[in-house]
Structure 1
Amino acid sequence: MADPQYVFDTKHDRYPLAVHVFLVQQGKTLLMRRAGSGYADGQLGLPAGHVELGETPTACAVRELAEELGIWIAPSDLIPGATWFRMSLEPRVDIFFTIRSWKGTPKIREPHKCTELVWTDPQAMPADALEFLALAWNDAQNGRVLREYGFVSVPA
């Protein structure tokens, strides 16, 4: 929850900020079949969510993993991977994390948002995964800290 003293600056454009988490176990990463959001429904994506006003990205990741999968993590176990400025339905900022340990067994806790959990080799993402996941995995594992994705370059 936001600090009651927090003042939102309305003088600047804002972009949605989201976190995405690669849960890794025995060389596989967990993907979730999206449903009910109106964006990429039916495709496989990562556990993810939007950062709420006054919330940090790590706090968002902890909250989303508990809400979506019923697992609990220590914020210090999150490994920051890559940050993207990505064109989707609108420009947005995405932060990708990797985590290798958690408490609990991942299960679908929001069936109106997710219809299936799939463990997959992150080096060979399924054809029905969001098109940017393989590249995000590569960036997260290889230290690329910033990518601008999906924008059409304008000639100078």
Structure 2
Amino acid sequence: MHSTHNLLALNELRSERLTHSCFSGPVQHIRFVLKGDVLETTVEPSQTAKPQRHKVTGDVHLILRRGDEVLFGQRQNTGYEDGAWHLPSGHLEADESVVEALIREADEEIGVRIVPADVRFSHIMHNSSSGGRVAFFFTVDRWDGEPTNREPDKCAALEFFPIRDLPDHMIEYCRAAMGHVSDDEPFSAFGW
């Protein structure tokens, strides 16, 4: 197909917003040639582009157990579920394993030191929030130090709750994951 446009058309093309959807599925190759003040375009046959790979955020959640109790922090000033109780957690950083991330977050958020040998995998959840997240839940029942609120700007309080009597106001995916952990279910999908 061959068509001719003036320079105003080129300016309109330049102002279109491109999104990732423009680059998946059928793709047409368009060649632009400027001859004087006339822009000629040639559209070549469609080809199929490779679909975009799904990218997920990974995060870790610490189930710090003291007997039949689990430690929770009450969120504040985060803009997401403030007032809700949640497990100590955080995102993976570049070049960091999930166990390294858990140990780092435990130290940063609650000031406890954990060794890798004391970390037990409990659950993995594929959560639909934010376009897809993979949350790793690990149980730890041995650590050094007393849990202390080291992020008072984001955490109003730390408290141990009985595992069979969790707080009423929790982030829902966390409540669901704790149920799966209690039922020894290693995997779940939430919100899909």
Using structure 1 for the length normalisation, give the TM-score.
Answer: 0.84
Alignment of 1:12 with 2:49, yes or no, is no
Alpha-carbon separation, structure 2, partners of 1:65 and 1:150: 27
More deviation in 74-83 or 142-151? 142-151
Using structure 2 for the length normalisation, give the TM-score.
Answer: 0.69
Alignment of 1:114 with 2:143, yes or no, is no
Alignment of 1:43 with 2:84, yes or no, is yes
- Give the helix-richer structure, 1 or 2: 2
C-alpha root-mean-square deviation of aligned residues, in Å? 1.4
C-alpha deviations, 1:2-24, integer Å up to 9, x for none? xxxxxxxxx73311100001100
In structure 2, list runs of 5 or more residues that go unmatched. 1-51
Kept after mapping to 1: 8 A contact 2:127/2:173: no
User: SS of the residue aligned with 1:132?
Assistant: helix
Mapping 1:54-69, distance limit 5 Å: 54-69=95-110
Identity %: 30
Mapping 1:24-35, distance limit 5 Å: 24-35=65-76
Q: Tell me: higher relative CO, structure 1 or 2? Use CA pairs within 8 A at least 6 residues apart.
A: 1
Alpha-carbon separation, structure 2, partners of 1:101 and 1:46: 16
Could you tell me which residue of structure 2 aligns to residue 77 of structure 1? 118
Name segments (4+ residues, structure 1) moved above 3 Å: none
Alpha-carbon separation, structure 2, partners of 1:63 and 1:87: 25
In structure 1, list runs of 5 or more residues that go unmatched. 1-10, 152-156
Alpha-carbon separation, structure 2, partners of 1:98 and 1:139: 13
Opposite residue 122 of structure 1, the aligned amino acid is I
